Structure 1
């Protein structure tokens, strides 16, 4: 027998085995069905209409199919694994144990065809199509059964769709009628559009929302009647909107605000509020009832959007509630409006606020590993004091420490230890020489921070870092956030530089920049836009743009120009002068209910001038690592085609540069339960703006695309709700530091080779998604 024939027989045997397994799985899903019943495999809907375009007909069919009940057992690749597990587990003898858990929690009982009501589903489809304007629709239902499986088929034969001929708003002379009529220019009902009951319902909601901005607190969408007449026109309807006769009188009246009362120490455990006269504080046009005098009155003045005499307005109602919630001092916020007893057609507003604990401690313990083979832990202890000066301020004092150990790899023995503290004070307002007030539902904040960190890289050097900042954080809305640090100062000083590291500097002068003293002061601004919270949108976006300006005013004032030897020092340290910009854009494409394609592009550039020739090391860009190009070790890639040699002390130095370009794309899908999977590709690199003789090939040039690194891999994500544990296994596809013509290394991939795996496979373990 020839080798070719043996191979053919082997392939046929494999196909036979696969088909047998599929057949066995299918049989096991119908083996335990009740006698005479069938496994329900789903339904289909067919719309027979010669006028509708094909895409419109398909969309109508898809929308109609989603209404059918019940839903069949879920399928994956033609199989029903949950039903299979249900059957395999069998009937448990006790309401506990593995068998019970598999059958009731993991498995899924068969959906029987006897539970399918064809007539009921047909009526649902008939109502659905008529609500879309296809009046007098005919719907038929049928079923097909074979091999203990059954499915249902529905056929919709719609009549010609009715269009809107005209819309009439209330014409009566009442204030309410006039108010509704004035909303007509923004109506959702358009002449010539198809009749749609859902649009009519949405129009009633729209009118109600507009009236809520005009003081009609007690109005309700159900008080609007839409009279539809199909007799006037050829397949056309006229729609007349009117106020129902049974509408209560209080719903027809716009109300103004009378009293405003705030209870900032309300207890939800009590049914009523008791207080003494001395507990009452009158401030401007509102009243505070608080025996403990917990807050300064101006805290409420900035949060209340209602003023006495204003018409009730739902927008201001929601803004006020959101402001109270966003202060960060209240656990529970309740609001109540009551008709005033003293003044006709007015409302008294009451706000009941339950405090969060004033002081609390939060401890964070983190275990981590990164792509440079470092494994370690980090502890962060935060002490917080809410409302420290009775103005809803937040004082936070943190102490943190961590250690990273490399158990193998180039940096073995060069462990990293860090210890530090940070104090921040946040005010729920703008603190400026001139008056500024935020106008959104989100409270603007002023934040001052002081931070110190000591970092020790054993056998190499230590760094002392001091940082202080003062700035503002505010949101226009839930999508847009701004952060401006008017003052941002960083001072870095080296300590305990070893003789071994000094020797390495002689061989590679760029290592000396890491331990240079740095004084950075200036202004930073970042803008963030995101709509990723809109879960139903197919396409969502995230954008973050940052601008970092350091030493620019001082440089201009002093005329600093290092190229002419005019280096200006402050406290005997040259201050840094540069402009740095960075943009991070992300796109999320929803492919299905449990899958998406996430992509990111990062572009960054820093330009040193005046008093500096290069960006400070702490401000330069890096690539590689857990949240970057995962197929390369953290901070080890680039710049350009340069590859850092292992030093005489056997460690791999960090690489950084002035320019950065990075692209990532990742397919994410749910595998089972809390486990999700991902396939990803990362690409990018960093470059120096100017040539460095010690780093050949590191500068930006026309060959930028030839120096792009590419990596790929797969990962698992375990979603525990309160955190996401991520594991990624990646390997390089393109190495920019290899000679031209040899940089693509896909043909060298060999998962069976231990030598290849040791050199190329990178395991990343992290908390959260990479982007």
Structure 2
């Protein structure tokens, strides 16, 4: 105990000393110990752009220019090159302890000091030369770049840098002439001129010239010219005929090797499969005309390798076929890498055949992962969680992946309701799931078909335990089978022919019972029941294939539950409407449609306009006219109408009892409509801002006495729409986006006692603050 006290006292003394040091250093100079002749860099004063080119090509050039000039000073805010915090703590420590010799001083220096960023380190002269080269590469041959060092008026050893960029008029492409490579190659090039990357009247750009070289080389390689490379293409440029115009001639370099100007065919094909640690093959097997060399034992079925090989002996070499083969092999998740090696069949001058060997190394079969996180969900739930997962790759020697996941979380809900009522709710959730994924479609007639894009069949078993504090405990378990495939790069189909879930309401609380007593529909939606369903989802996303200012994402799905079983019961002579059961328990019947469309319009490199429109519809019939609680719609939260917390609006004009803080749990509906528009803009570096407008609501399809005003009604439709606005900031870390949004309510569909469209009783009650990860849409 005595020793512990001594340790605590020592630690306390250290931290007290450190606090005193910070207080003393706060008045110290940040330039006292700079090297002789050096000046502390305090950021960029401004980047002045003259004759800015607002075209897409001009904005692309400016983006690279600003990246070349960017350099954060000490204590920069969010990596900004111009904004700093007012407390340069690291510099204070540096200047206070750089010459100290004691162990404690060195410890503080090593832990807390920040090395000064000097003007000489930033090298503005070198950066302006880089910018000058960038201007020329983008066709701004008359553009200039310069800089000024601006000393601090209070301290001459501090300075900012000001850059001046004058883009002036870009040179335009006048004519483009393609000269002869070979008669056959010329014909190939002429057939694809509509796809060329350089065109008359475009800005001259070295980047576009390189893009065209790559395109021509790919065209040639897709016609069998395996040895043809981009650097075999050269350009001759003439800027003298017309001022500000560039005449281009696309030529082939002289003296091309004979191997580059003739097509090649594929000869013998083999695999060389190295072990988990790179062990070289020790055995071999011949499957049809494919030789497979392997180490130890063959860990993959030969047919799997053969079906993913799109070359056959005698085929003309094509780069696209090579890429298709590599993609198909990579999607197996069996190999750490794959490499395709081509060698001439013999050394004769007339040889036109390449033998192909595919070298690969096995990925380790087992993978475990522990993930600790803090979640922030669209339903306003936030809290710590953990996920433990175990993955077994290549389970049946065909690329199958078995995954077992155990997850748990504890969450509490934040935020206030517009009416000022309490809105706290805590819960924990435990889940166990097992998935078996096949990298192909498991269905008669399709199991051996290999698609150009990912295609998977997944079987899943799961169980989830949800404990909603002060309300209920619910156990849901079941299984599903699903197919997912992409016929094109932009289109995806997901078919779930079988999904069976059983919801077991294990226990309820007095508070929850009081709610369901007043609203029996809520209890019916949570009662013990099976949910046998099948669904189809179509997704379109052109983000990966379309170059332009507009990106479109659209997803629609249809779900049908209980209809096949109901048909079987009808054939057996049982009632078509009520009383149908599975294993003595009722099952749900409904049809559900959802659709969501998102459009993002790029105004320029720093501004975007994002829009979303989504809707949903669920209709229950047969056994019950109330859809399962998990299938119903709700609105509000960080990814919805951000001025309102989750389940605080709707259905329709329904207003829950403000004396019951838990009554909002039944604010769900059968119809949902939501629209969002968001203006996004760059503030500084990776810090972005947004201004948004959100609108929407949910409604009932059938009257409910416990929720008056919830029925959808065309006469009151516009007034039923909840409306909110707000603003937010986002910090883009490249691998994720941190988002903070402040929503401001403008209109609620129910009566609040305040007249007019803006009917929020108190401004503070109409505020919603959301901290989330990722964009809302």
TM-score normalised by L of structure 1: 0.76
Which residue of 254, 262, 269 maps to 1:260? Answer: 269
* Conserved? CA contact 2:60–2:605, under 8 Å: no
* 1:567 aligned partner: 578
Q: In the alignment, is the contact (CA less than 8 A) between 1:86 and 1:103 conserved in 2?
A: no
Q: CA deviation at 1:688?
A: 0.8
Tell me if 1:167 matches 2:177. yes
Does the C-alpha gap of structure 1 residues 467 and 672 become closer, same or farther in structure 2, counting only changes over 3 Å?
farther
Name the residue aligned to 1:507. 518
Q: Tell me what 2:221 maps to.
A: 212
Distance in 1 between the 2:414 and 2:326 partners? 53
Cα 1:717–1:653, aligned 2, differ >3 Å: closer, same or farther? same
Matching residue of 2:256: 247
Residue 482 of structure 1 corresponds to which residue in structure 2? 493
Aligned to 2:667: 655
1:639 to 635, 646, 651: 651
Q: Which residue pairs with 1:445 in the alignment?
A: 456
The equivalences for 1:426-441 within 5 A come to 426-435=437-446, 440-441=451-452
Cα pair 1:176 1:253 within 8 Å, conserved = no
SS in 2 for 1:209: helix
Displacement of 1:349 in angstroms is 2.2
Deviation, structure 1 residue 686: 0.4
Q: What is the aligned counterpart of 1:81 among 80, 83, 86?
A: 83
> 2:408 & 2:564 partners in 1: Cα distance?
36
Q: Which is bigger in relative contact order (C-alpha 8 A, separation at least 6)?
A: 2
Taking the TM superposition and a 5 Å limit, the aligned residue runs for 1:760-771 are 760-771=766-777
Equivalent in the alignment of 1:50: none
Please tell me whether the aligned partners of residues 63 and 605 of structure 2 are also in contact (alpha carbons under 8 angstroms): no
Shift of 1:512: 2.2
1:199-241 superposed Cα distances (whole Å, 9 cap, x missing partner): 5544333221111101111111222344567899999987654
Q: Which runs of 5+ in 2 are unaligned?
A: 1-29, 100-105, 153-159
Structure 2 residue aligned with 1:577: 589
> Could you tell me which residue of structure 2 aligns to residue 586 of structure 1?
598
SS at match of 2:473: strand
Q: CA 1:245–1:490 in 2, change beyond 3 Å: closer, same or farther? A: same
Per the alignment, residue 8 of structure 1 pairs with none
Q: Compared with structure 1, are the counterparts of its residues 578 and 69 closer, same or farther at alpha carbon in structure 2 (3 Å cutoff)? A: closer
Maintained 8 Å contact 2:170/2:203:
no
**Paired residue for 1:224, among 223, 233, 248?**
233
1:491 pairs with 2:502:
yes
Alpha-carbon spacing, 1:717–1:113, altered in 2? closer, same or farther (3 Å) = closer
**Which among 83, 98, 103 is matched to residue 94 of structure 1?**
98
| 1:380 aligned onto 2:387 | yes
SS in 2 for 1:523: strand
Deviation per CA, 1:386-431, whole angstroms, max 9, x where unpaired?
1111111111223334444579997899753443422211111111
**1:97 to 1:109, Cα distance in 2 relative to 1, 3 A:** farther
- Bigger drift between 317-326 and 728-737 goes to 728-737
Kindly indicate whether the alpha-carbon contact (under 8 Å) linking 1:530 and 1:542 is maintained by their aligned counterparts in 2: yes
Q: Cα offset for 1:684?
A: 1.6
Measured after TM superposition, the shift of residue 485 of structure 1 is: 0.7
Paired with 1:125 and 1:435, the residues of 2 have a C-alpha distance of: 52
Equivalent residue for 1:341? 346
In the other structure, the counterpart of 2:331 is 326
RMSD (Å) for aligned C-alpha atoms:
5.1
What are structure 1's unaligned runs of at least 5 residues?
1-27, 48-53
1:242 is displaced (CA, Å) by 4.4
Q: Retained in 1: the 8 A contact 2:595–2:614?
A: yes
The separation in 2 between residues aligned to 1:606 and 1:251, in whole angstroms, is 62
**In 2: Cα distance, 1:675 partner to 1:46 partner:** 25
Report the Cα distance in structure 1 between the residues aligned to 2:719 and 2:746, rounded to whole angstroms. 13
Classify the secondary structure of the residue corresponding to 2:330: helix
Aligned mates of 1:84, 1:94 — CA distance in 2 = 21
Q: What is the aligned partner in structure 1 of residue 465 from structure 2?
A: 454
> Tell me, what secondary structure is at the counterpart of 1:170?
coil
Farther-moved stretch of structure 1 (567-576 vs 718-727) = 718-727
Contact residue 366 and residue 393 of structure 2 kept, 8 A:
yes
| CA-CA distance at 1:738 after TM superposition | 1.9
Partner SS for 2:705: coil
Counterpart selection for 1:686 from 679, 690, 698:
698
Other-structure match for 1:284: 288
Q: What is the deviation of 1:280? A: 0.5
Which residue is equivalent to 1:604? Answer: 616
Q: Deviations along 1:563-612, whole A, 9 cap, x unmatched? A: x9732613244443332111222334456767655443321112334555
Aligned length: 716
**2:535 matched residue in structure 1:** 524
Distance 1:363 1:606 in 2: 38
Map of 2:632 onto structure 1: 620
Change over 3 Å in CA distance of 1:733–1:691 after alignment to 2: same
User: Cα–Cα, structure 1 residues 599 and 74, in superposed 2: closer, same or farther, change >3 Å?
Assistant: farther
C-alpha spacing 1:413/1:188, structure 2 compared with 1 (3 Å): closer
Shift of 1:186: 4.7
Task: Name the CA shift for 1:477/1:438 in 2 (closer, same or farther; >3 Å).
Answer: farther
Question: Closer, same or farther in 2 for the Cα pair 1:676/1:171, shift >3 Å?
Answer: closer
The answer for the alignment partner of 1:397 in structure 2 is: 404
When normalised by structure 2's length, the TM-score is 0.76
Q: Which residue of 2 aligns with 1:350?
A: 357
Residues 174 and 245 in structure 2, CA contact (< 8 A), matched pair in contact too: yes
Distance 2:177 2:718 in 1: 60
Choose from 703, 709, 723 the match for 2:722. Answer: 709
